[in-house]
Amino acid sequence: MTPLLIILAAIVLLAIGYMTYGKWLSKEWGVDANRTTPAIELEDGVDYVAAPPQVLMGHHFSSIAGAGPINGPIQASVFGWVPVFLWCVIGGIFFGGVHDYGALFASVRHGGKSIGEVIGDSMGDRTKKLFTIFALLVLILVIASFVNVVAGTFSTAADAGQSGIVSNPNGNQTTAMISALFILLAIVYGILTNKVGMKTGPATIIGIIGIIVAIIIGMNVGIAVGRTPWIIVIGLYITIASLIPVWIMLQPRDYLSSFLLYAMMVVAVVGIVVAAFTGTAEFQIPTFTGFKNEKLGYMFPTLFITVACGACSGFHSLVSTGTSSKQLDNETHAQAIGYGSMLIESALGVISLIAVGMVFSKYTAGEFGSPAVAFASGIATMFGADTSSVYKTIYSLLTLAVSVFALTSLDTGTRLSRFMFTELFLNEGEASYKDAKGIRALLAHPLFGTVFMVLVGCILGGLSLSQIWGLFGAANQLLAGLALMSVAAWLGDIGRNNKMFFFPMAFMLIATLTSLIITIINKFKGMAAGTLTGPMWGHWFQLVFAIAMVVLALILVKEGLGHFSKQKKA
């Protein structure tokens, strides 16, 4: 019964947080239902396109979820279930929810501009440039990490003797086919709702039927292609997807994908109930294993870096201020989309914790290739033995769902890169690359920034460097601390309550800077002792990247503290 009590407690606490703390935040910040949003005021048919709240919810949730709330809590489960549960719930309500909602609201009040523009409004152009550079470094890691993940879940081994369209596909070939069909389905949905004029309800029914058909086809016919060709295809796809109007691909694809994620969560909760009353699986995670783990190190700062999207994630602020703020049709919907999506993701983090708990002994023994595999196996185990047809079906569908969401985060991240890369080379008063002069006109061009970020991300992702993942966690959480700082500064400037940001901001900055400094020290020690394994340039890459992020972050923190000091004196 322990897993059932855990998920019920999480749902109740998160629901209470949404209805009380979330509502209070809306009141304190002055959310206004009668104020025109950028999606309507600046509508351009490409990036600024108002979306029905349920469609935008699907896009936002799919984009921020990815594989993060699955991988993080599972990796952190070695500290015991209580620390992970508490951080997912408390972190979601008081850290991640405030971060996501605040970033979305601030961007809406800044014409749908990025978090860099928000910080620039308060602290000046120099600070904006530094923050944008920091965010772009994080986005390079996002693209590299997810290119690596997606290519790995799509590719067929070189020695498999298969290529092209194949029957009786394996899991990767099935995932590749269904993902490709999802893209076509999204285009059809976008045309039906934006050009034909079909209402969201009927189009959604058609879309869900299309999802079922795509899954059936993918289970019987797959795509067999090696890893390198897939990286090239993925690079071309995300380049095109980031440049075309959001209604063609981004909105419909993420909205339809969200139904897979909702279904995945429902199946997981049903499995928890089944296991509680039938005893098909046993929850194996200890309550608490201690403050230090042999592989991960000390619980502080490791737990708060590793759980990431299950409690608080800097990438969410980029999504909130990059795409979601340009599609919000009414300010009052920001609470559900910004704050609500984060709390649902925290619930998914708790579900992931329970899932790995059902196969914890196998997980710690290294029997699973990735946390995503442990997640799928743990939930499927609740329904029966791993030899049963029910287990195999659920396992396959859950693995598919995880892969689909890694791809949604990837194409959203690429579009965010385009926005921020352009903003980096525009001066105050310049609306687009057309207003820039000389070399800046080229650098600010959407195509240039997109191609540059995709090329760098795909090259790093293609190298499969394990160092990328280590950097991504700390850099992502450090970005969260800086995003909290930027929104707090802006709220203070306009005379609104910003005190709810200070503790989450300080905690995230301290935890992540500590993690990066530990990484830097360990790299220097390993290089001096000659104990590092793998390509040395990879370790140098991680070292230089970590140092650059620490330096940039410290400069930004200094600027922030100076700004808060001026606000206090005023």
Residue by residue, DSSP assigns 495-515 as T---GGGHHHHHHHHHHHHHH
Is the predicted pLDDT of residue 470 greater than 80, yes or no? no
| 205 CB-near residues (< 8 Å, 6+ apart) | none
pLDDT at 468: 67
CA dihedral over 136, 139, 145, 149, signed as positive or negative:
negative
The closest of 273, 275, 276, 345 to 99, measured between CA atoms, is: 345
Give the mean model confidence (pLDDT) for residues 197-219.
Answer: 91
Question: If we measure between CA atoms, which residue out of 323, 435, 427 comes closest to residue 38?
Answer: 323
Tens of pLDDT, residue by residue over 18-44, are 999 999 999 999 999 999 999 999 999
pLDDT computed for residue 280 by the predictor: 86
How far is CA 57 from its chain centroid?
A: 14
The confidence score (pLDDT) of residue 196 equals 92
Q: For 311-322, how does the pLDDT look when each residue is reduced to its tens digit (9 = 90+)?
A: 999 999 999 999
Phi-psi group of 534: left, alpha or beta (phi > 0 → left; psi -120 to 50 → alpha; rest → beta): left
Tokens 């606000």, residue located:
567
pTM: 0.92
Work out the pLDDT band at 145, boundaries 50, 70, 90.
Answer: confident
Q: Which of 74, 73, 51, 47 is nearest to 61 (CA)?
A: 51
Q: How confident is the model at residue 142, as a pLDDT?
A: 85
Backbone phi and psi for residue 293, each to the nearest 5 degrees, phi listed first = -115, 140
Q: Which residue type, as a one-letter code, is found at position 137?
A: L
Angle at 114 between CA 426 and CA 134, to 5 degrees: 80
pLDDT per position as a tens digit, 377-408? 999 999 988 878 888 888 878 877 777 777 88
List, in sequence order, every residue forming a beta bridge with 538; answer none if it has no partner.
none
DSSP state of 468: H
Percentage of the chain with pLDDT > 70?
98
381 membership: H or E segment, kind and range? helix 371-381
First to last CA, the chain: 55
Question: What are the pLDDT digits (tens) for 232-260?
Answer: 999 999 999 999 999 998 889 889 888 88
pLDDT (0 to 100) of residue 159: 54
CB neighbours of 121 closer than 8 A, spacing ≥ 6? Answer: 110, 490, 493
What are the φ and ψ backbone dihedral angles of 222, each rounded to 5 degrees?
Answer: -125, 175
Cα–Cα distance, 69 to 265 (Å, whole number): 12
Give me 71's structure tokens. 């991988």
pLDDT at 430: 79
Query: Average pLDDT of 469-495?
Result: 90
Q: How many whole angstroms separate alpha carbon 258 and alpha carbon 271? A: 20
Cα gap 218→166, rounded to integer Å? 10
182: confidence class by pLDDT, cuts 50, 70, 90: confident
Lowest pLDDT segment from 125-134, 412-421, 463-472: 463-472
Of the two residues 99 and 65, the one the predictor is more confident about is: 99
In tens, the pLDDT along 349-383 reads: 999 999 999 999 999 998 887 788 899 999 999 99
Helix H, strand E, coil C: the string for 394-412 is HHHHHHHHHHHHHHHHHHH
Cα(200)–Cα(259) distance, rounded to whole angstroms? 14
Q: Which residues contact 406 (CB under 8 A, 6 or more apart)?
A: 66, 67, 146, 149, 150, 153
Nearest CA-CA partner of 162 in 172, 147, 150, 175: 172
Q: Which residue has the higher pLDDT, 105 or 424?
A: 105
Place of tokens 């650059």: 548
Q: Is the dihedral of CA 136, 459, 178, 170 positive or negative?
A: negative
Q: Which residues of 517-550 are buried (b: 16+ CB within 10 A; e: fewer)?
A: ebbbeebeeeeeeeeeeeeeebbebbbebbeebb
pLDDT of residue 94: 98
Mean model confidence pLDDT for the chain: 90
Q: How far apart are CA 100 and CA 501, in angstroms?
A: 12
Is 227 exposed, middle or buried (CB count within 10 Å of its CB: 0-12, 13-18, 19+)?
middle
pLDDT tens for residues 266-305? 999 999 999 999 888 899 999 999 999 988 899 999 999 9
| Distance (Å, whole) CA 134 – CA 317 | 13
Question: pLDDT category, 427, cuts 50, 70, 90?
Answer: confident
Which stretch of 161-165, 331-335, 464-468, 546-550 has the lowest confidence by average pLDDT? 464-468
